Structure formats: structure tokens, C-alpha cells
Amino acid sequence: MNDFIFPMSPKEPKYKQIYQQLKILIEQGNLKSNDSLPSIRRLAETLQVSRNTTLTAYEQLVAEGYIRGEGRKGYFVNELEQVFLQQEEATVPTLSTTQEQPALKIDFRAGAVDQAYFPLKTWRQFANRTLQLEDSFIYGEPFGEPLLKEQLTRYLLQARGVKCEAEAIIIGSSTQQMLLYLGCLLKHDFTSVIVEDPGYVGARQAFKVNGFELEALPVLEHGAQLHLLPNMQSRLLYITPSHHFPYGVTMTIQQRQTVIQWAKKVDGYIIEDDYDSEFRYGQQPFPALASIDHSRVIYIGTFSKSFLPGIRLSYMVLPKSLLYRYKEQFSEFEQNGSSLHQLTMAAFMDKGEWTRHIKRMRIIYKQKMHYLVEQLKQHFGNDMTILGEHSGLYVLIKLHVHLSENQLIQRAAQYGVKVYPTSPFFLQRSAAEPILQLGFSKLTMEDIHQGVQLLAKAWRIPLNNE
């Protein structure tokens, strides 16, 4: 085949661009079965890249079956089914539909991290040092790296009041993964679990996978209805006491003592999900429930909200009554949290960078929270009630309007703003008025200002198509 030329972008590896371009030509039928490809040397000269770059692209195509190498003859296109061409044609209407949607300007997504303030340089330095360690080139410890466990024992005691031994800490990839494993252990003793309503959907799904029946504990804007606990059948309780998800309320010391006494009385356990306790703006973070009685509380924490979702690191502290059984049941399972990230985080914490990061982000997020609340009050006044404005990385807004949750979301989308529903969080009931979730952690002050202005227009000006 004659040479072909296509534009090369400096933003993506050249071998990958060559691979993608050839793959498209083959899938679309422009390069047919048994067509010969230019030699590695010739294509490299044509595209002005190194021979290794062209070779890497060809090797990837060979590995995926698009082309074959025949000794000294060169490379040839393999025969493919026409399904590739059909798939491409079928996607055209979808792409056209997507392009017709209003451009997204502001995304009030909760749980994102402010990239501008992420300690990238520092983290990269620690990560590079970690890669020089011998432990980075072997499978990690099944229940977590000892260096990180030691750091966590210090941090949990200092920041959350939880006193525990390093051996009691189990490290994994996410809260859901922790709950899945925990459910496998607990389902031998429990058949049901009490969950908050509204509450974290991911936890419910993890319990359902293990066959648990769900009992709903109603949570109102001012807190959980704990007086209903004695009337419930379950002896296992999953709660978010330091920052209820999604309402944002915090359990008082009296309420915490109530649930501890309940667990003792029924011989049960409390699963405490402490997912973002670092970000409390009015006072210092409250001590964890596990600091009161660690024999009845299974404590779960994560680095996803406070540091980086993509790091995929979570941990739990098990009571002694469960620890041996857990390790026995999962002794043959490989660690599913990255050992590289665990070792890097251990060094990061050891040198005080973790504490500095949390202090810095608490100040930044507090400023964003206050600005968002100020903007909402300025534009909506008494037409809106704001919930959870003293902690966390999002607020809930209750709109006193004659519009449904879906209508509010659709109107916002018409102005290029994405807001999020709370209806999926409810299990057996729904909110009397529509409540939406607005995350702010990734947004700049200008984004927040623009986003609220657009929402004011979207929710106060009737659209022609409604």
C-alpha cells in the first residue's frame, strides 16, 4: 500500500495516534483484508517519528488481531466482520443528539476534588520514592501495608478519638468493597440491617448483594428517629453519625450514647461510615462513635473525599470479636487497594503532609461553602431552605416552588447547569418538597457565582416549551 499521512497531536503519544488511525481505517473498510501496510521504516520516515514509535503501534494492532506480520514480507490486514462498520454507522444519530444538548457550563457535582489545590508535586515526589522501595515490586499485604496502618492509628486517635491497634485496621479499595466483604462475614449471624432513610445508596446495594433485608430508620432534617430503634427487628445498624448523608446533620453525644446502648442491649453492631468528617466548618470535628465503645462499632473511613477519589483507598477498624474471623475468612484473598498508593500515603502522612493538606483544604472549602450559601440566599431568599451548610462538600437546597425535582433539573440543564436529585437516597418515603444536591468542592468562586445566577434564571423564568 502507498504511504498515508494524518495529523499528529502533541497532546497524545504518537504511537497511540498511529494505532488509532490505522484501527479506524481497518474498521471502516478503507483498509481491506490482506492489504499490505507500509514498512515500519517507511511509515516512520513519512510521519517523521522514530521506528520504535511505528513498531509499538503495529505491535498493538497485531496483539488485538487487526493485522498480522508475515516474516520478511511485512504487515497485512486481517479479515474482520462487517459488524465494525455497522456499529460506527449506528452511533451517528447518538452523536448528533448529544451535540444538540445545551453546553454544560457549571456542574454542581458532589465528591469531586479541587485540582488547583491538590498537592501534585509533593505527592509525585513521595510516589517516586515509593517506587524505589523493594516492597513496591511484590504483592501487598492482604489486609493492608503495616506502614500505613501505623500512620492511621496515630491519625485516628488524634483526629477522631479512636484508639486501636494497627492489627485491627483493614485496608481496602473503597467503602462499598469494605461493606461487601463485611457483609460476607456478618450474614452468618445477621439476616437484616437497619439503614438510614434517606441514606447512601451504595451501602444499600452492598448489603443487598449479600442477601440482607433492609429496615429503614427515618432521618429527618434535624436528625435520625432513634426512638424507633427498640421496635426494630435487626441487630445491625449502618449510620453516618458525624455527617449524615445526605442531610448533613450530626449526632449529639446523647444520641451517640443511645445507639451504643441499643447495640449492647440487642447484642448487635453499628457500622459507622465516617466518610468526610475532616470538613466541619463551625467547630472542630466531633469524636467518632467508635471512640465511645469500639467493641460494638465497626469504623469505616476513606481517602476519597478528603484527598482523591481515584486513589481508591479506604479502611476499617474491626472490634476484636470480629477481627480473627474476618482474617480467617479472607486470608487467601489478595489486597485490592493499591500497595503503591498505600506506601505513598504512609510516607505522606509520616512527613506531616496529610495534616497540612487537610488544614489547607478545610479553609478553602469553608470559603467556598460560605460563598455558595451567601449567593443562594441572595438570589432566592425565602423561596429556598438550605440544609447542611456547616460541614461537608455539598449543600442540599429545598425549593418552595410548584415544580417537581425532575422539572427543576431539566430547567437547570436548559441553562447549562447540572444539579443532582436526592430522590434516589430515599428508601420508603420521599421528600414533601423537591430537594436537590449542590456540590462545590471542584468549582471556583466565579463558577459558583455564575452557577447560582443561571439557576436563578432557570427556576424563575418559565420556559416556552413547558
Domain locations along the chain: 1-92, 106-116+361-460, 118-355
pTM comes to 0.76
- Summarize pLDDT for 127-167 with one digit per residue, the tens: 999 999 888 888 889 999 999 999 999 999 999 999 999 99
Question: What is the CATH code of the structural domain delimited by 106-116+361-460?
Answer: 3.90.1150.10
Q: What per-residue confidence (pLDDT) applies to 15? A: 85
Distance of alpha carbon 77 from alpha carbon 68, whole angstroms: 6
Strands 384-387 and 394-399, sheet pairing: antiparallel
Instruction: Please give the CATH number for the structural domain made up of 118-355.
Output: 3.40.640.10
- For residue 94, what pLDDT band results from cuts at 50, 70 and 90? very low
What is the tally of helices (H) and strands (E) in the chain? 14, 16
Task: Tell how far CA 255 is from the center of its chain.
Answer: 29
Over 90: is that where the pLDDT of 47 sits?
no
Asked if the model's pLDDT at residue 464 lies above 70, the reply is: no
Q: Collapsing DSSP states into helix, strand and coil, what is residue 124?
A: helix
Cα distance between residue 279 and residue 366, in whole Å? 8
Q: How far apart are CA 362 and CA 356, in angstroms?
A: 10
Quote the CA–CA distance of 183 and 192 in Å, as a whole number: 10
pLDDT (0 to 100) of residue 103? 86
- Strands 269-273 and 236-239: what pairing? parallel
What φ, ψ does residue 403 adopt, rounded to 5°?
-135, 145
**CA gyration radius for the chain?**
27
449 confidence band (pLDDT: 50, 70, 90): very high
Confidence of residue 101 (pLDDT cuts 50, 70, 90): low
Fold entry, domain 1-92: Arc Repressor Mutant, subunit A (1.10.10)
